[in-house]
Structure 1
Amino acid sequence: MKWQDESSALLDELLKPLPVFVRPMAKKSIKSKIEQVAQENGAEEISHDHVVRGYILAAPDKDRAVTALEAHNIDLAPYEELLK
């Protein structure tokens, strides 16, 4: 699956707060979830929306996910159903 440059950059930014030794494993897990979300939507390319949705779904702690996304000025209104 092809990743847009901005989508890949967003994922890297969202992972920055994690300790360096945890990032590779977290990235692999979250990236897999993002690609699953995109595939379920029939997409050929990973978009910003797929990254946000996959990140939320993969997050074990939704409050931390919200904090990270808000820190990047991402409007969470379209994703409220995922945050419940």
Structure 2
Amino acid sequence: MYNDFVMWLIAVWGFIMIGLLAIGGFFMFRKFLKALPREDGWSELDWQEYYIEQALPLWNAEARKLLDELVSPVPQIFRGVAKQKIAGRISKIALDEKVSTIHLDQIIKGYIIATPKRDHGFMKKKLKELNIDYSPYEHLFELADDEKQKFSIFEQTEALKKVE
């Protein structure tokens, strides 16, 4: 009787461990794919870091505080990655628009485009909580990050210019 219980316990523990390893492996593989260089020799993460570094002087305390507030609904374990991705996109938009300081306009554009389509409901809810009108940016929801298409969030610059 006791041996049967221990065998079942080991079997259940084995299935749980295999499941957790599979989940962890999935996320590690996604990160690996983003770190692979593209045709230009730079990976998605390299471009992200480049744009953030270039636009660092454009970020003021108010913009950083708003970015922190916008990513607050993201679970703590993923918040840093989400913040980095959104900040990279905001920085690219600010550099393309040649602004002297990052304002609400660039933050909302980058936030919408860098947020995966599956999270738009949460994003709209957060914007409403902050009393931010996103209706002028409705057209940008089509350019948002789509996990199924697997394109870079930095490839929408031409599309963004056409829409505006």
**TM-score scaled by length of structure 1:** 0.89
1:56 corresponds to which residue?
A: 112
1:46-66, Cα deviation, whole Å (9 max, x unpaired):
111111110000010323221
Q: Residue type matched to 1:10 in 2?
A: L
Q: Is 1:35 matched with 2:91?
A: yes
2:134 corresponds to which residue?
A: 76
* Structure with greater helix share of residues: 2
2:124 corresponds to which residue?
A: 66
Q: Residue type matched to 1:83 in 2?
A: F
Shift of 1:42: 1.1
CA–CA separation in structure 2 for the residues paired with 1:77 and 1:25: 27
CA RMSD of aligned residues (A): 1.3
1:10 corresponds to which residue?
A: 66
Give 5+ residue unaligned stretches, structure 2: 1-54, 143-164
2:82 corresponds to which residue?
A: 26
Q: Residue type matched to 1:70 in 2?
A: K
1:19-48, Cα deviation, whole Å (9 max, x unpaired):
111011111111000001111111132111
Aligned length: 84
CA–CA separation in structure 2 for the residues paired with 1:19 and 1:80: 25
CA–CA separation in structure 1 for the residues paired with 2:121 and 2:75: 18
Higher mean alpha-carbon deviation, 51-60 vs 1-10, is at 1-10
**TM-score scaled by length of structure 2:** 0.48
Q: Residue type matched to 1:37 in 2?
A: I
Q: Identical aligned pairs, as a percentage?
A: 36
* Structure with greater strand share of residues: 1
Give 5+ residue unaligned stretches, structure 1: none
Large movers: runs of 4+ above 3 Å: none
Q: Residue type matched to 1:60 in 2?
A: P
State the SS of the aligned residue for 2:90.
Answer: helix
Q: Which has the larger radius of gyration?
A: 2
CA–CA separation in structure 1 for the residues paired with 2:122 and 2:96: 25
